[in-house]
Amino acid sequence: GESVGLHLPTLSVQEGDNSIINCAYSNSASDYFIWYKQESGKGPQFIIDIRSNMDKRQGQRVTVLLNKTVKHLSLQIAATQPGDSAVYFCAETFQGAQKLVFGQGTRLTINP
């Protein structure tokens, strides 16, 4: 059976540095990947997405990289700010699916 209360992976960075949050996925059929940000006391919020026909996509201060060969996804946050403190989730889906599958999440902590 499943257990609860497992330790959440944590990443600590200095304010102003760049952050890289990694995610591994397992379903080779997945062709659409998304990052969500969850601030304390709130529900997750969509940040950025990428389709499998791309290997990089940029947003405002965020970049998502996709490596399909090793089934790896990363979220890069430039010049990390205190407001970036949150839990970040990757999610995957495929065409025709009606649901997302989420990763376990990574807690990003910003040091002043």
Residues in touch with another protein (CB under 8 A) = 2, 4-8, 32, 34, 36, 41-46, 49, 89, 91, 93, 97-105
Instruction: Decide whether 19 or 93 has the Cβ nearer to another protein.
Output: 93
- Shortest Å distance, C-beta 36 to another protein: 8
Q: Which residues of 83-103 are buried (b: 16+ CB within 10 A; e: fewer)?
A: ebbbbbbbbbbeeeeeeeeeb
Closest to another protein by CB, 13 vs 105, is 105
Q: How far is the CB of 61 from another protein (least distance, A)?
A: 20
For the sheet with 19-24, list strands across it: 19-24, 72-77, 62-67, 56-58
